[in-house]
Amino acid sequence: MTPWWQSGAIYQVYPRSFQDSDGDGIGDLNGIAARLDHLVALGVDAVWISPIFPSPMADFGYDVADYCGIDPRFGTLADFDALLAAAHERGLKLLLDFVPNHSSSEHPWFRQSRSSRDNPKRDWYIWRDPGPDGGPPNNWISDFGGSAWAWDEATGQYYYHAFLKEQPDLNWRNPDLRRAMMDVLRFWFDRGVDGFRIDVLWHMVKHADFPDNPANPDYRPEMGEMHAVHQLHSTDQPEVHGIAAEMRSIADSYPGDRVLIGEIYLPVERLMHYYGLDAPEVHLPFNFQLIDAPWQARRLARLIGDYEAALPPGGWPNWVLGNHDRPRIATRVGEAQARVAAMLLLTLRGTPTIYYGDEIGLADVAIPADRVQDPRELREPGLGLGRDPVRTPMPWNDSENAGFTTGEPWLPLGPDWRTRNVAAQGVDDASVLVLYKRLLHLRRKHAALATGDFRLLEAEGDVLAYERWQGDERIVVALNLSAEPQPFVIPEGEVLASTLGGEPQPGTLRGDEGVVVLTRP
């Protein structure tokens, strides 16, 4: 029987921005529960919630102070249990965001670790003596800029942080730490959680000798300081695969097809290793290629073909257009092509993940300087690396604050929220929302789209075309990635969906047109 995560679609909720239930301007668990019916109507199968654990919010939840609790801003454990039950009642799976590479500096473990060199938890984090010059142990750079080493005056050593200094990295070479973190997975699986997205999985183990990373000869300051070196020794170490395999064995010990999804930004050939080298690892190593790919048909065709060819036996593909860290698809390709991108995401072979708001065509929102929240933007201003623009509140209707909150939203709404909202698009047959619903409905109705085979088709100009089939059912998808008409002979059959509506023109795809056609035998 096909696991749900192969045939289903996943929806990412950024909890601060989805729905506020108590008027403090920040989304919460009860707010998510109140909007579950939107997700059911949309047609997704699972909800992935970005971190909701207790946190000082130095990095908005990715600095965890307690892995087995709920931050009061979002609610309580009872609220979580109620949300989980409500999701399951509606046939929705619920996934949490596991942050195993680092904790908050306010976590009791780190407080003990930094209290003295001989504390039993000292080795739960990564401590090193100064380098020969008295400075940091090596040249490793934080992903948020600056040295990845923070000096601790009290104990006379540096600790390592791949991100903020408030996010010290955990030492996964310590067996006690490893056991404690595996118990975190069990805690949430025992509560009924259906799986996890694992944050920065490829960062989790560092080279045991901590050598310098090689300089990047192509570095330019506008890339962000983290790119000044290649992260050869600070990420993607061989030992991480044994950890991922242990996580997988825990997930597989629970009933109901629990799933693990790994956040891994690596070239495809290295990404594939996370399906499992010697034992199964994560079910879905996130495939982020569409986020950075040039929006050109031939380039996308090559990317898709190479990815399909690289999959190991039994490896299931997955696709993503955006997330809480990267610019939204509507900003990258424009509103018209965002509709074509939706058709691509939801008809390729593999599990799609939809970022909240993409289903109504949300674009990045310009954030005034005095409203900036993101520590990355505050540390390296002016480089366009800030993530606030893609984390703005979900507009639900045209009431005050778009129905998101009765208070002051933690980030500003987009300028078009009075017309670009769920309620308005729900009654507009030509809206992005209705297109998403139609495509997700087709995935459920047609096995060829959900789990069928795939092959690229020959096409001219800026047309990307492919066929999906299962048994006798064959479906052709043709996408015009330009605003100009392109030659393409649409096969005879039933047009199941179109980005533009109406009847296709013979021998031509209109500008910004994508079609899904059930072909005649």
pLDDT value at 124 more than 80: yes
Which CATH number is associated with domain 453-519? 2.60.40.1180
State the pLDDT at residue 380. Answer: 87
Under 8 Å CB-to-CB from 340, ≥6 apart: which residues? 333, 479, 480, 481, 499, 512, 513, 514
- Torsion sign (Cα): 504, 505, 507, 513: negative
Q: Cα 322 to chain center, whole Å?
A: 7
Distance (Å, rounded) from C-alpha 489 to C-alpha 506? 7
Q: What is the average per-residue pLDDT within 232-252?
A: 98
Residue from 45, 166, 199, 467 carrying the catalytic annotation: 199
State the pLDDT at residue 385. Answer: 86
CA distances (Å), origin 127, targets 1, 156, 208, 271, 496: 47, 10, 12, 29, 58
Residue 263 known to be catalytic: yes
Q: What is the average per-residue pLDDT within 121-127?
A: 98
- Torsion sign (Cα): 362, 198, 277, 171: positive
The H or E element spanning position 189 is helix 175-191
Q: What is the mean pLDDT of the chain?
A: 97
277 — pLDDT class (breaks 50, 70, 90): confident
Q: What is the average per-residue pLDDT within 397-418?
A: 98
Beginning with the edge strand found earlier in the chain, give each strand of the sheet holding 453-457 in spatial order: 453-457, 463-470, 473-480, 514-519, 493-498
Residue from 263, 359, 374, 388 carrying the catalytic annotation: 263
- pLDDT (tens digit, 9 = 90+) per residue, 310-336? 999 999 999 999 999 999 999 999 999
- pLDDT (tens digit, 9 = 90+) per residue, 363-398? 999 999 999 999 999 988 888 889 999 999 999 999
Of 3.40.50.2000, 3.30.470.10, 3.20.20.80, 1.10.10.60, which CATH number belongs to 4-100+196-437?
A: 3.20.20.80
Distance (Å, rounded) from C-alpha 263 to C-alpha 253? 22
Give the start-end residues of each E strand in 154-239: 157-160, 195-198
- pLDDT (tens digit, 9 = 90+) per residue, 130-181? 999 999 999 999 999 999 999 999 999 999 999 999 999 999 999 999 999 9
CA angle 491, 438, 37 (to 5 degrees): 165
> 510 and 480 in contact (C-beta within 8 Å)?
yes
Under 8 Å CB-to-CB from 195, ≥6 apart: which residues? 5, 46, 93, 95, 96, 251, 258, 259, 260, 261
Nearest to 175 by CA among 125, 107, 124: 124
State the pLDDT at residue 482. Answer: 98
pLDDT value at 521 more than 80: no
Q: What is the average per-residue pLDDT within 298-315?
A: 98
State the pLDDT at residue 177. Answer: 98
> 28 and 82 in contact (C-beta within 8 Å)?
no
- pLDDT (tens digit, 9 = 90+) per residue, 19-76? 999 999 999 999 999 999 999 999 999 999 999 999 999 999 999 999 999 999 999 9
pLDDT value at 448 more than 80: yes
Q: What is the average per-residue pLDDT within 250-264?
A: 98
Domains in the chain: boundaries: 4-100+196-437, 453-519
Percent of the chain at pLDDT exceeding 90: 97
Q: What is the average per-residue pLDDT within 467-481?
A: 97
